[in-house]
Amino acid sequence: MLFDILTIFPELFSSPLQEGILRRALAAEKITVNLHNIRDYAFDRHHMTDDRPFGGGEGMVMKPEPLTACLEDIQGDEPGRVILLSPRGKTFNQQQAVRLAGYSRLILVCGRYEGVDERFTRQSVDEEISIGDYILTGGELAAMILVDSITRLLPGVLGCSGSAENDTFSHGLLKHPQYTRPREFAGKQVPEELLSGNHADIAGYRFVESVRVTLERRPELLGRITFNSDECRLLDKAGLLGRIKKLKNEYSCDCKLL
């Protein structure tokens, strides 16, 4: 995967790319990240990348010419999907990460200030993406989140090949709680089901705890899941089935419980 990132703050990307899995993916050439300073394409006397909005109002708007000149300069042979990181974009999620991991080149344009001149967006941008309903100072950290979440999906990036699919959001439940040594910490024991060595018991316990934590924190995720009869029996035994049935009805999904 080739990532091109257009930004007025290329230095913001240096340390996140120098650690852990991203560092390894770069070293193994699973990804390439080319940083382009938009200011290098501002050819006016003051190298201006932004200007005041027509019609007045707060803040500044990114000028279209430097962005366009930068895109033209980096075009090359491999056509890239051009993504503008913007609070007006469609909200990013795991499904979109999987979709974008299917491209061979992504060109990420980081907005700053109040936004980008709409003519650039119309002419050159394929899609606008937001990372969620909160306000950032610019698109750089959002772009980094795309790079991070997409890179770990690429073949050969994660050590253990199954671990990307095994995640929360792939099967739709939040992860069960995890424990490691020591067996007793601050007077609290590790749940005995996990020490039993019985794989079926462990899987059953983890399933129930996954549902419990999902029910508490992200009940809307359960609306989309159907459980088989074994799973329903486990949930009933744990006293969770009633709450799940009620929730399913609230989300008006077809209820295949028991």
Catalytic residues, by residue number, are 87, 114, 152, 167
CA 47/CA 26 separation, integer angstroms: 31
- Whichever of 89 and 204 has its CB closer to ligand 9D3, that residue is 89
List strands edge to edge, sheet with 105-110.
32-37, 2-7, 105-110, 81-91, 127-130
With tokens 């340390």, the residue in question is 15
Whether 115 contacts 62, CB under 8 Å: yes
Least CB distance to ligand 9D3 at residue 242 (A): 38
Report the SS3 class of residue 7. strand
Least CB distance to ligand 9D3 at residue 86 (A): 5
Least CB distance to ligand 9D3 at residue 144 (A): 11
- Whichever of 20 and 59 has its CB closer to ligand 9D3, that residue is 59
Nearest by Cα to 1 from 23, 38, 21, 26: 26
For helices 229-237 and 199-217, what crossing angle results, to 10°?
A: 70
Strand partners, 83: 108, 127
- Whichever of 9 and 103 has its CB closer to ligand 9D3, that residue is 9
Least CB distance to ligand 9D3 at residue 234 (A): 39
CA 124/CA 196 separation, integer angstroms: 59
Provide the binding-site residues for ligand 9D3, judged by CB under 6 A.
Answer: 85-87, 111, 114-115, 130-132, 134-136, 138-139, 142
- Whichever of 13 and 205 has its CB closer to ligand 9D3, that residue is 13
